[in-house]
Amino acid sequence: MAHEDDPLEHERASWNPSPGLAVAVSDPVEPPALPPHRERVTDKDPVAMKHAVRTVYTLFYLSVAASIWAIAAYMLFPIESGAIVDIRNNNMFVGLGIGLALLAIGIAAIHWSKAIMSDKEHIEPRHATRGRDTTRAAAVQAFSDANDDSGFGRRVVIRNSMIAAVVASLAPAVVLFRGLAPENTPANPIAGDPVALLEETMWTAGMRLVHDPEGTPIRAADVTLGSAVHVIPESLAELGHAEGYLEQKAKAIVLVMRLLPEDLIESPEKADWSYEGIVAYSKVCTHVGCPVALYEQQTHHLLCPCHQSQFDVTDAAKVIFGPAARPLPQLPITIDDEGYLIARSGFTEPVGPSFWERH
Amino acid sequence: MSTATAPAETPDAEKRDAPLGGRFIGATANYIDERTSLSGFVKELGRKIFPDHWSFMLGEIALWSFVVVLLSGTFLTFFFQASMVPTHYTGAFLPMRGVEMSAALDSSLRISFDLRGGLLVRQIHHWAALVFVAGIGVHMLRIFFTGAFRKPRELNWVIGFILFILAMAEGFTGYSLPDDLLSGNGLRIIDGMIKGIPLVGTWISFLLFGGEFPGTAIVGRLYTLHILLLPAILVGLLVLHLMLMVINKHTQFAGPGRTNSNVVGYPMMPVYMSKMGGFLFITFGVIVLIASLFTINPIWNYGPYDPSPVSAGTQPDWYIGFADGALRLVPPGWEIVFLDRTWSFNILVPLVGLGLFIVLVAIYPFIEAWITGDKREHHIAERPRNAATRTAIGAAGVTFYAVLWAAASSDIIATHFYLTMEGVIHTLQALLVVGPVVAYFVTKRICIALQKKDREIVLHGYESGRIVRLPGGEYIEVHQPVDEYERWKLVDNDGYEPLVVRPNAHGRIPWHENLRASLSRWLFEDRLAPLTQAEIDAAVAHQHHELEHIAAEEDVELQGAHARAGVPGAPHTPIDDGHHSETAVRPSNVIVSDDGARQPVNPDEKNS
């Protein structure tokens, strides 16, 4: 590469960048020249060179062999039996073949470049990134000519009206995105109202508490002391996946636990929300909505596995640790004539994570 | 233009007599060039020089793993169904037979168990994505700590930063596609976070999920983002990133012959073509080996998404960890109802905090450029120690990120080390505040100490390990001067000093100049003044003088010892017998001869 200075560098003469706060050293340390080239073993020793050449082509042929092996492994290790061991073997042996084939190419190429190709260092001059003065002047002239020809800077009314039109033309695109979510329909007057949807669950007065996911009802007597039962509303168990099962379930999941009645600290207005020490709380974390699925039997704490919020079941599920801010909403329960647990009413507040319109 | 080719025929004709690579290649090259002017491109770039350093390879890891991601991802699109239509699984994996799941999970399971090599490609795709983000991360750290973001590369830093964000977005959208239990929980967390945004959160979540969470739209929408929109932007910016790298030319580390106005290294063809091409295959090969030996994201163990079950110890892919950790470190009760609206500070503080953090990362080059006011181009990659404050800031940032990242595994830490959950969280909360501060000061001190050590070596030589006793009984270690090439690597010509504010034309000092002055004091107050050539010359002369002095003293001492031993003619240097040349057997290199008389070995050899 060229060592001489750029003959056109003087065209950037007007550019004299400020060094800012850089310390000006009148007598800076002089950089030494490039050190003399040191020959590698392969440069000096023909045997070593021959060895390197042999290594490189051996690796390339090894790669061919590994590729052939990968194809063979594809056929030798079928997965049609469905057995997990067959899938593991197929994955491993095909993968090892492909991986080795690729690695051998890579190592060979790099060995080629490091041991065989010339390792003499070259010097290439750098030029300032900015264009030459004449080029810059020509660019400015181009804009200026275009401006004169179009009157872009002079005819302000045209320019501003154009900007207004282009900006306004984006608005319909924004409006179109309203269609991302459903709107209210006569059949479902709140289908397009996220706040109304968030405030409503499938729980209503008299709804039976049933096992998740089997849908079998729960007799109060079957909820033993210290146990935790994962519960959904009876009507949810009958819902199909295509009928909004997951959406309803995401709001309606409940945990039922039985404690000694004397362990429960209950406020007077919620005194009848539990039944003989059986309490039901929303299983959706009030932080960001993970299921609060871990129940510590000894301490009566509920733990969210996602962000480790902990709720004290003995004390109205209030937050005792972690990032959650609100207690889990409680589902008032009682039993029906047959002794099955039922909801006394729906949830009295929205379940799950906080949202702006919640109050 | 077409008629003006006649005069140019002559040199072409000469070349055609002996075409490089045979007639066919020559004719093909001619055919292409006459239609594309490609020869100019080859002339410019074919022998372009790239500097060599192992750390310049980190960006290549990102580049090549992205190629692997693209290739493997394209294969997967042929089989994946981005649909949440419920279906009953009937594929090869027995434990999931008959389970109701979305078409997305069904097709992901079929890719894994019913398609030969499908699991391999799925795992290659996932592992390559993890390597991709990691590659960008370490590449960014290299750029930051060597100051390679300085003019003229600030814009490329920003482009690279956007690529980092896009890579994480690609990762998250891809992670969510199989619609398994874990990814559904990840989306649930995203949904909960979005809902915590004031004013618009509820509606953004509603629109994103196409109704209530989880809805039936999100997988299809994320798929469009994952395979169309995000990759298109990513590829476009990647091309721009590489073009700017070529235009700016790569930075190089200071070294003999390497200055701010040249590039020293090897040519693109053939050395870098071979090295970079080879490295593509190595990256690809390593990822395939990992994918063939180590399971990633075993969706078949998780099953379909259901809002109710979740397993303990679940973690996001590594690059999302810092955000998840930030959520975990919020203390209880950070939520208020104000103006009849809910303000979820337990969501907002992590969101805004992380947002500020990444914005600071993105604009750091501009802040530093504003403080230094340096408008020159910088093509020499700085040694991190020579920019002590910047390196300390970087260390503080890395610590901040690392604590958040550790917090994403707080439950795993607690269970593995038999600690309490609360203890781990409280420790990490404290570390999040204290850790960066400690890291800042420790790093800054270490950097300055290393600068002083470098200067010590430049001015006084390196410790040779040779201990000499002076006539007065004092022991000293002989310091040997370094050669001029080593010395050049150790000196730092690029210092800054704090701004001294001066009143402007109106006789005032504007507030921003005062701010700039304080920031510049913060950055540059603790510094070593750059060395001058005169200082080095004096130091080198002094070193030589010192060495001569020690040698003279030593000679006297040795001669005295030899004289006392009765062998005044013995040599003063160790005897090089071809085997024990390094053995320091002074001052009495004396052996006893057969007849009992003391004879010096090789008495002709004199101290040189």
Residue A256 has pLDDT above 80, yes or no: yes
* Pairing verdict, β B380-381 and B252-253: parallel
Q: Please, are residues B523 and B373 in contact by the beta-carbon 8 Å criterion?
A: no
Q: In this structure, what CATH number is given to the domain that contains residue A228?
A: 2.102.10.10
Nearest to A109 among B274, B491, B494 (CB): B274
Task: Tokens for B562, please give them.
Answer: 């030899």
A189 in a structural domain: no
E-strand spans in B282-335? none
Q: In chain A, positions 292-351, which contact chain B (CB-CB < 8 Å)? A: 293-294, 303, 305-310, 319-326
Task: Look at residue A89 and tell me if it is in a domain.
Answer: yes
| CB–CB contacts below 8 A, A to B | 394
In degrees and rounded to multiples of 5, residue A351 shows phi and psi of -90, 165
DSSP letter (8 states) at residue A219: B
Of B557, B103, B511, nearest in space to A242 by CA:
B103
Q: Are residues A198 and A284 in the same domain?
A: yes
Cβ atoms within 10 Å, residue B536: 19
- What percentage of chain B reaches a pLDDT higher than 70? 91
Cβ within 8 Å, pair B532-A29:
yes
SS (H, E, C) A137-164: HHHHHHHHHHHHHHCCCCCHHHHHHHHH
- pLDDT value at residue B383: 92
- What is the least distance, in Å, from the CA of A155 to any CA of chain B? 34
Write the pLDDT tens digit of every residue in B445-473: 999 999 999 999 999 888 888 887 777 77
pLDDT, residue B175, reads 94
Alpha helices in chain A (DSSP H): 41-44, 46-76, 84-111, 133-150, 156-176, 194-198, 234-237, 245-252
Q: What is the pLDDT of residue B591?
A: 42
Quickly count: other Cβ atoms within 10 Å of residue A114's Cβ: 16
Of A93-97, A264-268, A325-329, where does mean pLDDT reach its minimum? Answer: A264-268
Average pLDDT score over chain B: 88
Assess whether A105 and A146 both reside in one domain: no
Highest mean pLDDT among A293-302, B287-296, B573-582: B287-296
Domain co-membership, A205 together with A151? no
From chain A, pick out residues whose CB is under 8 angstroms from the CB of B192.
285, 287-290, 352-353
Segment B139-174, tens digit of pLDDT: 999 999 999 999 999 999 999 999 999 999 999 999
Whole-number Å distance between alpha carbons of B584 and B563:
19
- And the tokens for A237? 């168990």
What is d(CA A156, CA B90) in angstroms, rounded to the nearest whole number? 68
Question: How many other CB atoms are there within 10 angstroms of residue A74's CB atom?
Answer: 17
Task: Please give the average per-residue pLDDT across B559-583, as a whole number.
Answer: 71
Could you say which of B86, B199, B270 has the minimum Cβ distance to residue A356? B199
Q: Single out the residue of A165, A159, A163 nearest to residue A147, CA to CA.
A: A159
**pLDDT tens string A269-280:** 888 899 889 999
Q: Do the domain assignments include residue A29?
A: no
Mean pLDDT lowest among A49-63, A317-331, B491-505:
B491-505
Q: Is the pLDDT of residue B308 over 50?
A: yes
The crossing angle, in degrees rounded to 10, of helices B118-145 and B273-293 is 130
For residue B335, the chain A residue with the least C-alpha distance is A325
How many Å separate Cα A241 from the centre of its chain? 26
Tell me whether residues A106 and B270 touch, CB distance under 8 A: no
Q: Which residue of A has its CA nearest to B293?
A: A92
Are both A235 and A335 inside the same structural domain?
yes
Angle at A182 between CA B188 and CA B208, to 5 degrees: 35
| pLDDT number for residue A70 | 96
Does the distance separating the beta carbons of A32 and B484 come in below 8 Å? yes
CA distance A80 to A76: 12
CA–CA min distance B344, chain A (Å): 7
- pLDDT for position B333: 85
Strands A228-233 and A254-258 turn out to be antiparallel
pLDDT at A210 over 90: yes
Give B250's strand partners. Answer: none
Q: What is the pLDDT of residue B18?
A: 58
Mean pLDDT for chain A? Answer: 90
Q: Which residues of A touch B280 (CB under 8 A)?
A: 106
Nearest CA in chain B to A3: B262
Residues A312 and A235 in one domain: yes
Which of A340-349, B441-450, B522-531 has the least mean pLDDT?
B522-531
Asked whether residue A52 is domain-assigned, the answer is yes
Q: Residue A128 is nearest to which of B191, B207, B377, comparing CB atoms? A: B377
Please tell me whether residues A252 and A319 are part of one structural domain: yes
Contact A123, B47 (CB under 8 A): no
Instruction: Please write the tens of the pLDDT for every residue from B535-569.
Output: 889 998 998 898 888 888 878 877 888 888 888 87
Same structural domain, A83 and A147: no
- For the record, the structure tokens of B414 come out as 């607690």
A38 touches chain B (CB under 8 A): no
Strand, helix or coil for residue B164: helix
Question: In 3-state terms, what secondary structure has residue B69?
Answer: helix
Nearest CB to A308 within list B270, B279, B425: B425
Q: What does the pLDDT read at residue A76?
A: 94
Please indicate, yes or no, if residue A348 is contained in any of the structural domains. no
Q: Residue B607 pLDDT > 80, yes or no?
A: no
User: Cβ–Cβ of B207/A103 closer than 8 Å?
Assistant: no
Q: Is it the case that residue A56 has pLDDT exceeding 80?
A: yes
Q: Measure the CA angle with vertex A135, ends A132 and A139; round to 5°.
A: 135
A149 plus A206 within the same structural domain? no
Which value, in Å, is the radius of gyration of the alpha carbons in chain A? 38
The distance of Cα B489 from the centroid of its chain, to the nearest Å, equals 21
Does A116 contact chain B (CB < 8 Å)?
no
Q: Residues in chain A, how many? A: 359
Band (A11; pLDDT cuts 50, 70, 90) = low
B88: helix, strand or coil: strand
Contacts of A301 (CB under 8 A, 6+ apart): A295, A310, A311, A312, A313, A320
- Residue B180 DSSP code: B
Same domain assignment for residues A322 and A202 = yes
Residue with tokens 């269609």: A179
Strand partners, B50: B266
Residues of A in contact with B293 (CB under 8 A): 92, 95-96
Residue A162 has pLDDT above 90, yes or no: yes
Residues A120 and A137 placed together within one structural domain of the fold: no
| A302 within 8 A of A294, measured Cβ to Cβ | yes
Question: With an 8 Å Cβ cutoff, is A215 touching chain B?
Answer: no
Q: Indicate yes or no: CB of A32 within 8 angstroms of CB of B284.
A: no
Q: Per the CB < 8 Å rule, is B257 touching A121?
A: yes
Say which amino acid occupies B427: T
Asked whether residue B593 carries a pLDDT value surpassing 80, the answer given is no
Judge whether B211 and B218 are in contact, CB under 8 Å.
no
Q: Could you give the CA distance from residue B296 to residue B286 in angstroms, rounded to a whole number?
A: 15
Q: What are B1's strand-pairing partners?
A: none
Closest to B195 measured CA to CA, from A174, A281, A251? A251
Provide the pLDDT for residue B4. 43
CB A273 within 8 A of CB A266: yes
Of A124, A142, A168, which residue sits at a domain end? Answer: A124
Q: Are A319 and B332 inside 8 Å of each other by CB?
A: yes
Q: How confident is the model at residue A13 (pLDDT cuts 50, 70, 90)?
A: low
Among B86, B330, B498, beta carbon nearest to A323 = B330
Q: Measured between alpha carbons, how far is B165 from B304 in angstroms, rounded to an integer?
A: 29
A302/A266 Cα distance (integer angstroms):
17
Residue A304, in any domain of the structure: yes
Residue B515 has pLDDT above 60, yes or no: yes
Which chain B residue lies closest to A178 (C-alpha atoms)?
B207
Helix (H) or strand (E) holding A256: strand A254-258
Question: Closest Cα to residue B138, out of B54, B251, B248?
Answer: B54
For the question of an ipTM over 0.95, the answer is no
Report the run of H or E that residue B370 belongs to, with start and end: helix B345-372
Contact A265, A222 (CB under 8 A): no
Q: What are phi and psi of A91, to 5 degrees?
A: -60, -45
Tokens of A290: 């993970």
Residue B119 or B23, more confident: B119
Indicate the residue of A103, A123, A250 with minimum beta-carbon distance to B257: A123
Give the alpha-carbon dihedral of B138, B139, B142, B147, to 10 degrees.
Answer: -140
Last residue of one domain, picked from the residues A124, A145, A168: A124
Cβ atoms A99, B289 nearer than 8 A: yes
Judged by average pLDDT, the poorest of A231-240, B5-14, B510-519 is B5-14
**pLDDT tens-digit map of B207-230:** 999 999 999 999 999 999 999 999
Contacts of A102 (CB under 8 A, 6+ apart): A63, B281, B282, B284, B285, B288
Same domain flag for A79 and A200: no
User: Does residue A351 fall inside a structural domain?
Assistant: no
- Among B322, B372, B436, B357, residue whose Cα is nearest residue B147: B372
Question: What is residue B387's predicted lDDT score, i.e. its pLDDT?
Answer: 92
Domain limits at A109? 38-124
How far is residue B95's CA from residue B101's CA, in Å, rounded to a whole number?
13
Token pair for A64: 């061919």
A57 has a pLDDT exceeding 90: yes
- Counting Cβ atoms within 10 Å, is residue B95 exposed (0-12), middle (13-18) or buried (19+)? exposed
For residue A89, which residues of chain B lie inside 8 Å, CB to CB? Answer: none
Higher local confidence (pLDDT), B519 or B607: B519
Q: Which positions ≥6 away from B580 have C-beta within 8 Å?
A: B574
Residue A333 β-bridge partners: A343
Q: What is the pLDDT of residue B138?
A: 97
Total domain count, chain A:
3
Give chain B positions within 8 Å (CB) of A124.
48-49, 249, 262-264
Contact A289, B190 (CB under 8 A): no
Decide if pLDDT at B590 tops 70.
no
Cross-chain residue pair A324–B531, CB shorter than 8 Å: no
Strand pairing partners for A281?
A: A255, A330
| Tokens describing residue A142 | 């181009």
C-alpha gyration radius of chain B: 33
Question: In Å, how far is B276's CA from the nearest CA of chain A?
Answer: 8
Residue A33 inside a domain? The answer is no
Helix (H, G, I), strand (E, B) or coil at A352: coil
CB contact under 8 A, A355 and B201: yes
Model confidence at A19, pLDDT cuts 50, 70, 90, reads confident
For B210, the closest of A181, A213, A323 (CB atoms) is A181
Q: Are residues A87 and A217 in the same domain?
A: no
- pLDDT the model gives residue A18: 87
Token pair belonging to A172? 């319909």
Query: Is the Cα dihedral A197, A201, A202, A205 positive or negative?
Result: negative
What percentage of chain A carries pLDDT values higher than 90? Answer: 65
Q: Has residue B348 got a pLDDT over 90? A: yes
Set of chain B residues whose Cβ sits within 8 Å of the Cβ of A198: 202, 212
Sheet holding A122-125, edge to edge: A122-125, B262-267, B49-50
- What is the nearest CA distance from A235 to chain B, expressed in angstroms? 16
Q: Is B310 in Cβ contact with A242 (below 8 Å)?
A: no
